[in-house]
């Protein structure tokens, strides 16, 4: 099973094109689905948890969170070449089918890049005029996609591998967690140490430097491959760690979603009971952060994430 956030969703090729359900729409004269207007790229509504003051005016402020993002595409459908209007409309309806799982909608936004929204198609409406216009042009077509995750993601997935060398030390790292500060790991110990990386940048001492180029914290997906007797993935700036208490044999792996806390053995079996992490896990903050993997020699960690914006 592939988690939706790390699925390789198709990336549009031209400005203002977007794709969902395998159908490419929008663009400037490049598809029969002409994009007239797009709402929903501003900040979503705020979901507050304020409580009314029982004996005074006003409220007690609680935690503010962003609600889901409602993207509304206003389209015109214009057949061209050998296109037939009923065929175009049926393709549009097929792309906007309801889904019981989150799917990706990608959009090529000029001067920003290829963007990804995670959610579900929710509404599709269009007028039909029997006096002849049906074969020529249909508008306005209103297509709504509800991004249940309020973040706007980079459609390009970043993939980095962290390899534990045979020996090393964590001394001097800015870990807030005292259990890791100054710890030394030797060859063959329960957790190998020192860090190396491939598929991404490598800093001094083998620390993986992961850059989230957006302005919102982004949820990584970490896959730990055996053999290792337990392992940890640690965010250097805070010392927050997601630790597994499981003996992974060679050929086994554990996939951890930092957002939902799902923990799947070989991508299938639920092993969430083996995961020890902060209550909300840890997300990769905007900017560049050092990320550390602790595991036995011979194991490795795949670290995947997307830049994210509000």
CATH, residue 227: 2.60.120.860
Among 17-26, 43-52, 276-285, 295-304, the minimum mean pLDDT is found in 276-285
Residue that wins the pLDDT comparison between 118 and 2? 118
One domain, residues 21 and 101: yes
Same domain, residue pair 148 and 188: no
Residues 168 and 187 occupy one common structural domain:
yes
pLDDT of residue 207: 63
pLDDT of 206: 33
The arithmetic mean of pLDDT across residues 37-62, rounded, is 92
220 compared with 161, residue with greater pLDDT = 220
Return the higher-pLDDT residue of 153 and 196. Answer: 153
> Final residue of a domain: which of 129, 154, 179?
154
Query: What's the pLDDT at 270?
Result: 84
Average pLDDT over residues 123-142: 78
Query: What average pLDDT does this structure show over 16-38?
Result: 93
Which pair of structure tokens corresponds to residue 40?
Answer: 């929903």
Averaged pLDDT for residues 105-128? 93
Residue 243 has pLDDT above 80, yes or no: yes
Check pLDDT > 50 for residue 190: no
Give the percent of the chain with pLDDT over 90. 48
Domain extent for 220:
158-309
184, 70: one domain: no
pLDDT on residue 192: 29
135 or 99: which leads in pLDDT = 99
pLDDT reported for residue 278: 72
Nearest in space to 259 (alpha carbons), one of 3, 1, 2: 3
Quick one: pLDDT at residue 216?
96
| Domain-terminating residue out of 128, 154, 180 | 154
What pLDDT score was predicted for residue 222?
92
Verify that 82 and 197 share a domain, yes or no.
Answer: no
Q: Are 126 and 104 in a shared domain?
A: yes
Closest CA to 143 of 38, 298, 284: 38
pLDDT grade for 261, boundaries at 50, 70 and 90: confident
Query: Locate tokens 């050092």: which residue?
Result: 290
- Mean pLDDT along residues 185-197: 28
What is the reported pLDDT for 275? 82
pLDDT of 297 > 60? The answer is: yes
Looking up residue 19, the CATH number of its domain turns out to be 2.40.30.200
Residues 278 and 141 placed together within one structural domain of the fold: no
Are 206 and 300 contained in the same domain?
A: yes
Q: Which of 99, 133, 154 is the last residue of a domain?
A: 154
Domain co-membership, 16 together with 133: yes
Stretch 60-81: mean pLDDT: 90
281 confidence band (pLDDT: 50, 70, 90): confident
Whether 273 and 184 share a structural domain: yes
Give me the number of domains the chain comprises.
2
Residues 79 and 204 grouped into a single domain: no
* 145 in the same domain as 270: no
Instruction: With cut-offs at 50, 70 and 90, classify the pLDDT of residue 139.
Output: confident
């Amino acid at each position: 099973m592939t988690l939706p956030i790390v699925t390789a969703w198709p990336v549009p090729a031209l400005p203002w094109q977007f794709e969902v359900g395998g159908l490419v729409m929008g663009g400037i004269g490049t598809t029969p689905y002409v994009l007239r207007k797009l709402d929903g790229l501003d900040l979503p509504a705020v979901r507050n948890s304020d409580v009314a003051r029982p004996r005074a005016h006003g409220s007690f402020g609680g935690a503010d969170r962003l609600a889901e993002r409602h993207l509304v595409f206003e389209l015109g459908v214009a057949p061209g070449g050998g296109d037939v209007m009923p065929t175009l409309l049926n393709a549009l309806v097929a792309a906007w089918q309801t889904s019981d799982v989150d799917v990706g909608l990608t959009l090529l936004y000029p001067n920003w890049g290829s963007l990804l929204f995670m959610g579900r198609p929710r509404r599709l409406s269009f007028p039909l005029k029997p006096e002849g216009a049906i074969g020529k042009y249909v508008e306005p077509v209103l297509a709504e996609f509800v991004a249940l995750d309020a973040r706007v993601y980079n459609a390009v997935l970043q993939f980095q591998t962290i390899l534990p060398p045979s020996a090393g030390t964590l001394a001097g790292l800015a870990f807030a967690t005292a259990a890791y500060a100054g710890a030394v790991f030797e060859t063959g110990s329960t957790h190998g140490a020192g860090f190396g990386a491939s598929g991404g940048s490598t800093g001094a001492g083998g620390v993986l430097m992961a850059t989230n180029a957006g302005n919102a914290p982004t949820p990584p997906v970490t896959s730990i491959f055996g053999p290792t007797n337990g392992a940890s993935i640690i965010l250097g700036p805070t010392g927050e760690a997601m630790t597994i208490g499981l003996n992974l044999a060679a050929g086994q792996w554990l996939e951890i979603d930092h957002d939902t806390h799902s923990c799947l053995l070989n991508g299938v079996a639920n092993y969430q009971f083996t995961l020890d992490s902060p209550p909300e896990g840890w997300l990769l903050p905007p900017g560049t952060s050092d990320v550390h993997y602790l595991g036995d020699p011979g194991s490795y960690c795949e670290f995947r994430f997307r830049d994210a914006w509000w």
